[in-house]
Every structure is written in structure tokens, then in C-alpha cells.
């Protein structure tokens, strides 16, 4: 919404998107925002990786046959990914820090691997401000909640359930991340 997808690339790490979430973000290519998201993710592989899930496969089949889609397919696909050894297991098994970026402040992970960080979008923006990568998280959040671009629908504005600070649940092993590139992105 804020036209700041490039901030994700400052993380300098693999960025995994589950298939059902990718499909939700890019399903209406008549809409400029969804075309932009698709072009951004597709044009940045790597670091973006689209991971398949059973839920995502089921929803794509429904879309092909014109059946009604699940309202919470993205969330279910994330659960599918997180509970599968072929999903999250292959990333956390390496012992490297792993971060999950989510939108719902009510997200809770049971049996959270020790190297897994949980970040909401607001939490990520606050962290990017803290390390000097953006001058103001509040400016980006304001643009997300009050878009000024003419191709953003009023229905796209949303209420963040994690304001004012966001969710930043660090990994149990205490791994951290610091930027390696340029410091300030306007």
C-alpha cells in the first residue's frame, strides 16, 4: 500500500512466501497494486521463494474450477507450511535465523523453533527505523493506512491490530540481524 516493497530487500535474506498468500496478493492482475506486487516478487527470485502447500494447491484448483475460495486460505497455508518438515522444517533445521512476517497481531506459534523470529509489518517497520534504514516508520504506516496513490482502493486501507509498536518476538536463541547495506532509505 505504501509502495515500499523494496524495504524487504534490505533484509538481505531469503524471503519465503507461501503459495496461497502469493495467490491472494496477486490474483487480480487488473488491479495495479496486485500487478506491482507480482512483478516485484517474480522479479526478485531470489531472494523471494514461493513455497507450495496443500492448502495453496487446493485453492488454486478451486480457482480453476470456479468454486468458492476459503476466506482464510493464506493463514491455513501458513499453518500447513509451519507444521511440515518440507516447509518451515527445511529452513529452521539449518540453524540460521528465520523470521516470519505476518499481519494479524493475534498470531501465536506453538512449539516455536528456537531460531524463529515473529514480526508483524509494524514491528518490522519499527525495527528498520531503529537500525537507521528508514527515517520514520510512522510515515510508512500512515501511507499504508491512508494511501495517497490514485490506484489504491479505499477498501485497501486497513486498521493495524498491532499499533503502536508492532509485534517483535525474538528468537529464543537470541539471534539478531543488523543491516549490511546502505543505512538510510528515504
Eight-state DSSP code of residue 48 = E
Q: What is the pLDDT of residues 63-93, one digit of tens each?
A: 999 999 998 898 889 888 888 878 888 877 6
Q: What is the pLDDT along the chain (186 residues), one digit of tens a residue?
A: 788 999 999 887 788 899 999 998 898 899 888 899 999 999 999 889 999 999 999 999 999 999 999 988 988 898 888 888 788 888 776 666 777 777 765 666 667 777 777 788 888 999 999 989 999 999 999 888 888 887 776 555 566 777 778 877 777 775 666 666 555 555
Which cell goes with 13?
A: 535474506
Is the Cα dihedral 67, 72, 76, 81 positive or negative?
positive
DSSP bridge pairs for 102: 120
Using CA atoms in the order 86, 88, 90, 94, what is the torsion angle rounded to 10 degrees? -170
For the chain, the straight-line distance linking the first and the last C-alpha, in angstroms and rounded, comes to: 16
Cis, peptide link before residue 46, omega less than 30° from 0: yes
Amino acid at each position: 500500500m505504501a509502495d515500499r516493497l523494496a524495504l524487504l530487500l534490505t533484509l538481505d535474506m531469503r524471503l519465503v512466501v507461501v503459495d496461497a498468500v502469493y495467490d491472494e496478493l496477486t490474483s487480480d492482475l487488473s488491479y495495479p497494486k496486485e500487478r506491482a506486487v507480482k512483478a516485484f516478487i517474480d522479479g526478485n527470485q531470489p531472494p523471494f521463494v514461493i513455497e507450495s502447500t496443500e492448502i495453496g494447491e487446493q485453492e488454486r484448483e478451486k480457482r480453476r474450477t470456479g468454486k468458492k475460495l476459503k476466506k482464510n486460505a493464506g493463514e491455513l497455508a501458513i499453518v500447513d507450511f509451519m507444521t511440515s518438515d518440507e516447509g518451515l522444517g527445511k529452513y529452521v533445521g539449518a540453524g540460521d535465523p528465520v523470521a516470519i512476517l505476518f499481519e494479524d497481531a493475534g498470531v501465536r506459534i506453538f512449539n516455536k523453533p528456537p531460531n524463529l523470529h515473529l514480526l508483524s509489518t509494524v514491528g518490522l517497520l519499527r525495527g528498520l527505523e531503529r537500525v537507521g534504514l528508514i527515517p520514520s516508520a510512522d510515515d510508512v504506516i500512515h501511507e499504508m493506512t491512508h494511501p495517497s496513490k490514485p490506484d489504491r482502493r479505499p477498501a485497501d486501507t486497513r486498521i493495524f491490530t498491532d499499533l503502536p509498536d508492532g509485534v517483535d518476538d525474538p528468537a529464543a536463541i537470541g539471534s539478531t540481524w543488523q543491516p549490511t547495506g546502505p543505512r538510510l532509505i528515504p
